[in-house]
Amino acid sequence: MEKILEVKDLQVSFNTYAGEVRAVRDVSFHINQGETLCFVGESGCGKTVTAKAIMRLLPKGQAVIKEGSQIIFSGKDVLKMDGKELRNYRGNDVSMIFQDPMTSLNPTMTCGKQIIETLRLHRGLSKEEATKEAIHMLEMVKIPDAERRIKDYPHQMSGGMRQRVMIAIALACQPHLLIADEPTTALDVTIQAQIIDLLRELKEKLNTAIILVTHDLGVVANFADRIQVMYAGQVVERGTAREIFYEAKHPYTWALLSSVPKLAKESKQELYTLQGTPPDLILPLEHCPFAARCEFCMPICKEQMPPETVLTDTHRLSCWLQHPDAPKVKSFYEREV
């Protein structure tokens, strides 16, 4: 498959009154055409910052993409693009579905007008052509009675409908890559499933690559091709969906998997809770960032950063438990499975 995006050694810092917050630390990955890559991890791990860095949407003056970072899209260096190139890149090549449609959509414009504006700006369509295409896009994302709903304002639609409008805007220019930042947040379980099914259907129809940002492994179970687990601004484990769900080796991945409710469990059984808090990202991390919360922590975990261990061509992780001299442990997640 053709590699359309490659990120190398991405480092993003925020300048705050308390000091430099290193939100993303040496993150590298790639995504192929038509593939779905999911970023998974708890809040503050760097998922959204990584996604916004790809779009060059980080706040100027506050966020800094460090020297040595590379974001290559179809052979072009995104970090060296000028204003005109960026306008073509955003929308035509890469689009983003933002986390909260109520704050991302303009409340003073009809939903249809917001789609039409995108089509006229990026594809150069006439007003009549753009209106017809906007109706088609609303039909594609399964909004009923699209010709009437195109005149509705965001507040006249439900949360699920607003999210569909956001997807329609993002897909209006048929981008090669779609970044979905928590597209199912604040939606009920039924609507969550519908949105994921819609994204899967559109991916197959348009052959669009998708980066899905989420904290919920349950959402990506039947959707992701590959998953990368992030913690404290780093990728701690990456692999195919099957490798992460059935052959996970990092204690943090085990914790995420154990916190997903399972139908097979008894209703009164307590759900696993990961104790402790993530490390302060202002401080330099010279050892395993998960050491303070890990039940398998060894002395070396608090002294040195673990090297990356290659298990297969697709499955890699950074954990001292993979060292030949480390004790063989059976995780709480493996005991459940």
Which tens digits make up the pLDDT trace of 195-206? 888 888 888 888
User: According to the model, what pLDDT value does residue 186 have?
Assistant: 67
pLDDT confidence band for 331 (50 / 70 / 90): low
The pLDDT value given to residue 171: 85
Tell whether the model's pLDDT for residue 270 goes beyond 80: no
Q: Tell me which residue of 56, 132, 46 sits closest to 91, measured CA to CA.
A: 56
Composition of the chain by helix, strand, coil, percent to 5: 35, 25, 40
- Structure confidence at residue 268 as a pLDDT band (50, 70, 90): low
Give 298's pLDDT tier (boundaries 50, 70, 90): very high
**Res 266: pLDDT:** 59
pLDDT-derived band of residue 122, with 50, 70 and 90 as boundaries? confident
Query: What is the reported pLDDT for 332?
Result: 59
The rounded distance, in Å, linking the Cα atoms of 166 and 102 is 10
Q: Is the pLDDT of residue 286 over 80?
A: yes
Query: What is the percent of the chain with per-residue pLDDT over 70, rounded to a whole number?
Result: 95
Q: What is the pLDDT of residues 300-310, one digit of tens each?
A: 999 999 999 99
pLDDT of residue 55: 94
Burial of 335 (0-12, 13-18, 19+ CB in 10 A): exposed
Distances (CA, A) of 219 to 91, 133, 135, 303: 25, 30, 29, 35
- If you search the block for the tokens 């040496």, which residue do you land on? 26
Tokens of 181: 């930042």
| Region 49-63 average pLDDT | 93
What mean pLDDT do residues 79-99 have? 89
Q: What is the pLDDT of residues 39-54, one digit of tens each?
A: 999 988 999 999 999 9
pLDDT at 285: 87
Closest by CA to 6, choosing from 25, 34, 36, 27, is 27
Mean pLDDT (the chain) is 89
Using CA atoms, how far residue 234 sits from 84, 95, 141, in Å, is: 32, 24, 34
Residue 58's CB: how many other CB atoms inside 10 A? 16
SS3 285: coil
d(CA 334, CA 258): 9
β-bridge pairing 94-97 and 308-310: unpaired
Q: What's the pLDDT tens digit per position in 205-226? A: 888 999 999 887 877 888 899 9
pLDDT at 190 > cutoff 90? no
| pLDDT band for position 264 (cuts 50, 70, 90) | low
Q: Which residue type is seen at 49?
A: V
Residue 212: per-residue pLDDT: 93
Provide CB contacts within 8 A for 282, sequence distance 6+. Answer: 16, 18, 19, 20, 21, 22
Q: What is the mean pLDDT of residues 292-296?
A: 91
CA torsion sign for 67, 239, 227, 170 is positive
Residue 267 pLDDT > 70: no
Check whether 158 has a pLDDT greater than 60: yes
CA separation for the pair 37, 5 (Å, rounded): 11
Q: What is the mean pLDDT of residues 119-147?
A: 90
Residue 16 identity: T
pLDDT the model gives residue 336: 52
The whole-number pLDDT of residue 294 equals 92
Between 268 and 180, the more confident residue is: 180
